[in-house]
């Protein structure tokens, strides 16, 4: 692999790591709005890297699941991921499940 490509991949890893750390901090603070913002940013990053760099995001999904302890937050993360993958029937199901959990 060329040096320039390796540098880009290193930067991608750093950006994802920073966003994962930010997600952890917002979960620790319990700020739902910031959690959703971090999930959205992370999802956008993964979508971009998946489309343009053909990178696997398995590691990141594992980290995200370990950070998100609230079942509703996990459902929101799943809904966002489904939406980005154009799984139009699954996304609202996860979002509705999150609403039910929060209202239960």
The first and second tokens of residue 87, run together, are 């799984």
C-alpha 33, offset from chain centre = 14
Residue recorded with tokens 């609202």: 92
Per residue of the chain (104 residues), give pLDDT as tens.
578 888 888 888 899 999 999 999 999 999 888 998 999 999 888 888 888 877 777 788 889 989 998 898 999 999 988 888 888 899 899 889 988 888 86
The pLDDT of residue 81: 87
pTM, entire model:
0.80
For the chain, the C-alpha Rg in angstroms (whole number) is 15
The span from the CA of 54 to the CA of 66, in Å, is: 24
Looking at residue 18, its pLDDT comes to 94
């Amino acid at each position: 692999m060329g040096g320039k490509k390796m540098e880009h991949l290193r930067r991608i890893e750093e950006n994802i790591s920073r966003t994962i750390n930010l997600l952890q901090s917002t979960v620790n603070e319990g700020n739902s709005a910031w959690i959703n913002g971090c999930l959205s940013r992370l999802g956008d990053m993964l979508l971009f890297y998946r489309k343009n760099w053909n990178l696997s995001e398995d590691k990141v999904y594992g980290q995200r699941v370990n950070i998100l302890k609230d079942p509703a937050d996990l459902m929101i993360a799943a809904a966002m991921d489904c939406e980005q993958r154009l799984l139009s029937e699954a996304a609202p199901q996860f979002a509705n499940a999150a609403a039910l959990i929060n209202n239960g």
